[in-house]
Amino acid sequence: MQHPSLNIAIRAARSAGKLLLRYMDRVDSLKVESKSRNDFVSDIDRGAEAIIIQELRARFPDHAILAEESGAQGRGDFQWIIDPLDGTTNYLHGFPQFSVSIALKHKGQLECGVVYDPLREEMYSAARGQGAQLNDRKIRVANRPSLEGALIGTGFPFRDQRHIDVYLRMFKDMTLSTAGLRRPGSAALDLAYVAAGRTDGFWEIGLSEWDCAAGALLVTEAGGTVTDLAGGKTFLETGNLIAGNLNVHRAMLSLLTPHLTEQLKA
Binding-site residues from annotation: 68, 83, 85-86, 211
The conformation of residue 226, written as its DSSP 8-state character, comes to: E
From residue 17, give the alpha-carbon distance in Å to each of 23, 30, 77, 147: 10, 16, 28, 34
The conformation of residue 8, written as its DSSP 8-state character, comes to: H
- Are 249 and 225 in contact, with CB atoms under 8 Å apart? yes
Q: Which residues are annotated as a binding site for Mg(2+)?
A: 68, 83, 85-86, 211
- Are 176 and 127 in contact, with CB atoms under 8 Å apart? no
**Beta bridge partner(s), residue 114:** 102, 125
SS3 category, 124: strand
Q: How many helices (H) and strands (E) does the chain have?
A: 9, 15
* CA-wise closest residue to 101 among 245, 208, 249: 208
- Are 113 and 104 in contact, with CB atoms under 8 Å apart? yes
**Beta bridge partner(s), residue 242:** 203, 227
The C-alpha atoms of residue 124 and residue 114 are separated, in whole angstroms, by 5
Dmax of the chain from CA atoms? 50
